[in-house]
């Protein structure tokens, strides 16, 4: 029989915990379920809260938005918060702090008179387990099959979703990746979401597809190559847009596209211009005259196909219709790829120098392409317990939002609230001030959210009316930092 003895040198965990509880100066952060016990001069696990002289403190200052840049100069250490008109300042939730559990009133409930109406803004940093990013990547290049897993640091953090016009789309995050997989999957998902939400770059790899570096407002980098142009349209749209400019310069134009390849002389646009049928038949499935699907496999080549030799899309050339000397332009949907051929006596396409007017028409396609960018929308559900920080009857806040009586903003930026139940909103992360997002290690993202509504409505929906503090008092006490919004974002208070 083997007897085990406790190692006299091993610390007793219960004793350690008890000692920790007795440790002087510790403060417990109750802003999220992690409940960090923080030593003096240290911060908790998320770095958002710290122990400052024995007091729990939000480490980042409250951020207010100032309408005009010159107002920002008031944000020095001696700033009293005055003189600012209520129309010129908006208390955002960035740095406001979080209340957890949410039955406590929101950290700031700000009252101000705007245009003769008493308004209330409820301000809190929400903790979102139900959240994710919708990423739009302007590129023709095939990033991977629909539904393919998207990975960061080897962990699945999302998937490829339906492509949009000129863009490949990713859906990242969501409660399943944050909570439903391994601990590492949740942590990496949270890190990736936070990086992108705060404007940073993330390297993502698609199973069976490409690797892409994504950064909001920047061009995507696909397999190490920076993308420059967002397609002018699909192959059929390009035919419709430029048919008149090709007439007289080419006898046939084929716009190669992974989705809808266009063939000018067959297309309605070519017929409208009385173009002679050229007899150049492309592969794939004909949808309608001059519009072909599935001419090749998706890839990183011409028009998002795997084609590197454009002649590969030609199935045959009909000798009853084609003629020697026929001039054929093949071009991609961005104008990035283009080639010029002339049929020889045997009706074989022979590469030839592109005439200047044709080159100019190809350049016109490129000119009409917009710069390729990555766009990142944060999407989250605020229809849960967070509402209790605003009102004791949460459904009334939901109804006020749905009826347009309460306006939702995120860090002062306008949001889109989905119709239907709940308060499910989306916001362009580029519209928020820098570093507006945070995280907690549960793991979940922290995002600023504000609800603004008339004070009478706020009282009617069971709001925490007794906790409303006047704007001037909040500014004086919180000693916030003031920032201006990106120039294209509307100020959240009417002038």
User: Which residues make up the interface to ligand SF4 (CB under 6 A)?
Assistant: 29, 31-32, 34-36, 44-46, 48-49, 440-441
The string of DSSP codes covering 378-400 is EEEE-SSGGGGGTBSSHHHHHHH
Spell out the residues 6+ positions from residue 421 whose beta carbon is closer than 8 angstroms to its own: 383, 398
In the complex, minimum distance from the CB of residue 443 to ligand SF4, in angstroms, rounded to a whole number:
10
Spell out the residues 6+ positions from residue 210 whose beta carbon is closer than 8 angstroms to its own: 141, 142, 143, 144, 222, 223, 300
Measuring CA to CA, how many Å separate 206 from each of 54, 156, 159, 373, 406? 48, 9, 8, 18, 40
Instruction: Record the tokens describing residue 265, joined without a space.
Output: 């002389």
Of 31 and 449, the one with the shorter C-beta distance to ligand SF4 is: 31
Of 41 and 319, the one with the shorter C-beta distance to ligand SF4 is: 41
Whether 91 and 107 have beta carbons less than 8 Å apart is answered as no
Of 21 and 360, the one with the shorter C-beta distance to ligand SF4 is: 21
Of 33 and 289, the one with the shorter C-beta distance to ligand SF4 is: 33
In the complex, minimum distance from the CB of residue 428 to ligand SF4, in angstroms, rounded to a whole number:
26
Q: What is the number of other CB atoms lying within 10 angstroms of the CB of residue 281?
A: 18
In the complex, minimum distance from the CB of residue 185 to ligand SF4, in angstroms, rounded to a whole number:
19
Of 17 and 201, the one with the shorter C-beta distance to ligand SF4 is: 17
Between CA 433 and CA 358 the distance in angstroms is 46
In the complex, minimum distance from the CB of residue 439 to ligand SF4, in angstroms, rounded to a whole number:
9
Q: What is the number of other CB atoms lying within 10 angstroms of the CB of residue 346?
A: 9
In the complex, minimum distance from the CB of residue 297 to ligand SF4, in angstroms, rounded to a whole number:
47
Angle CA(100)–CA(470)–CA(112) in degrees, nearest 5?
105
Between CA 166 and CA 137 the distance in angstroms is 8
Instruction: Record the tokens describing residue 254, joined without a space.
Output: 């084929």
The whole-angstrom distance between residue 174's C-alpha and the CA centroid of its chain comes to 13
Of 36 and 369, the one with the shorter C-beta distance to ligand SF4 is: 36
In the complex, minimum distance from the CB of residue 186 to ligand SF4, in angstroms, rounded to a whole number:
14
Of 375 and 442, the one with the shorter C-beta distance to ligand SF4 is: 442
Residue whose beta carbon is closest to ligand SF4 = 44
Of 29 and 172, the one with the shorter C-beta distance to ligand SF4 is: 29
Q: How many helices (H) and strands (E) does the chain have?
A: 9, 36
In the complex, minimum distance from the CB of residue 50 to ligand SF4, in angstroms, rounded to a whole number:
8
In the complex, minimum distance from the CB of residue 436 to ligand SF4, in angstroms, rounded to a whole number:
16
């Amino acid at each position: 029989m083997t007897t085990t003895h406790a190692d006299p040198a091993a610390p007793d965990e219960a004793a350690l915990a008890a000692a920790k509880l007795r440790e002087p100066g510790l403060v417990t952060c109750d802003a999220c379920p992690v409940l960090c016990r923080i030593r003096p001069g240290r911060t908790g696990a998320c770095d958002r809260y710290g122990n400052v002289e024995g007091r729990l403190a939000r480490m980042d200052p409250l951020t207010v938005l100032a309408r005009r840049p010159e107002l920002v100069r008031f944000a020095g250490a001696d700033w009293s918060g005055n003189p600012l008109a209520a129309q010129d300042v908006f208390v955002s939730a960035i740095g406001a702090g979080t209340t957890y559990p949410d039955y406590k009133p929101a950290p700031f409930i700000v009252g101000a008179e705007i245009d003769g109406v008493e308004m209330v803004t409820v301000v809190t940093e929400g903790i979102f387990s139900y959240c994710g990013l919708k990423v739009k990547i302007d590129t023709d290049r095939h990033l991977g099959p629909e539904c393919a897993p998207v990975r960061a640091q080897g962990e699945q953090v999302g998937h490829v979703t339906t492509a949009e016009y000129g863009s490949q789309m990713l859906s990242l995050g969501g409660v399943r990746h944050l909570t439903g997989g391994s601990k590492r999957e949740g942590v990496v998902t949270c890190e990736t979401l936070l990086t992108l939400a705060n404007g940073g770059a993330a390297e993502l790899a698609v199973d069976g597809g490409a690797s892409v570096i994504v950064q909001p407002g920047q061009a995507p980098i696909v397999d190490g190559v920076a993308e420059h142009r967002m397609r002018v349209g699909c192959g059929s749209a390009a035919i419709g847009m430029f048919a008149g400019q090709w007439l007289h310069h080419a006898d046939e134009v084929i716009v190669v596209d992974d989705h809808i390849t266009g063939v000018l002389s067959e297309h309605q646009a070519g017929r409208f211009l009385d173009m002679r049928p050229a007899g150049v038949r492309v592969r794939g499935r004909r949808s309608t005259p001059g519009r072909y699907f599935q001419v090749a496999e998706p890839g990183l080549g011409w028009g998002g196909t795997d084609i590197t030799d454009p002649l590969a899309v030609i199935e045959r050339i009909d000798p009853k219709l084609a003629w020697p000397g026929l001039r054929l332009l093949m071009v991609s949907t961005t104008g990035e790829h283009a080639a010029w051929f002339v049929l020889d006596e045997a009706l074989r396409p022979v590469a030839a120098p592109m005439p200047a007017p044709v080159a100019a028409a190809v350049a016109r396609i490129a000119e009409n392409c917009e710069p390729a960018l990555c766009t990142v929308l944060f999407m989250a559900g605020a229809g849960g317990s967070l509402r209790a920080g605003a009102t004791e009857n949460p459904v009334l806040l939901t109804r006020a939002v749905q009826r347009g009586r309460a306006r939702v903003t995120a860090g002062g930026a306008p949001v889109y609230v989905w119709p239907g139940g709940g308060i499910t909103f989306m916001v362009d992360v580029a519209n928020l001030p820098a570093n507006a997002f945070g995280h907690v290690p549960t793991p979940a993202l922290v995002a600023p959210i504000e609800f603004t509504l008339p004070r009478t409505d706020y009282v009617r929906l069971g709001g925490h009316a007794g906790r409303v503090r006047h704007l001037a008092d909040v500014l004086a006490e919180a000693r916030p930092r003031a920032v201006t919004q990106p120039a294209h974002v509307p100020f959240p208070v009417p002038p």
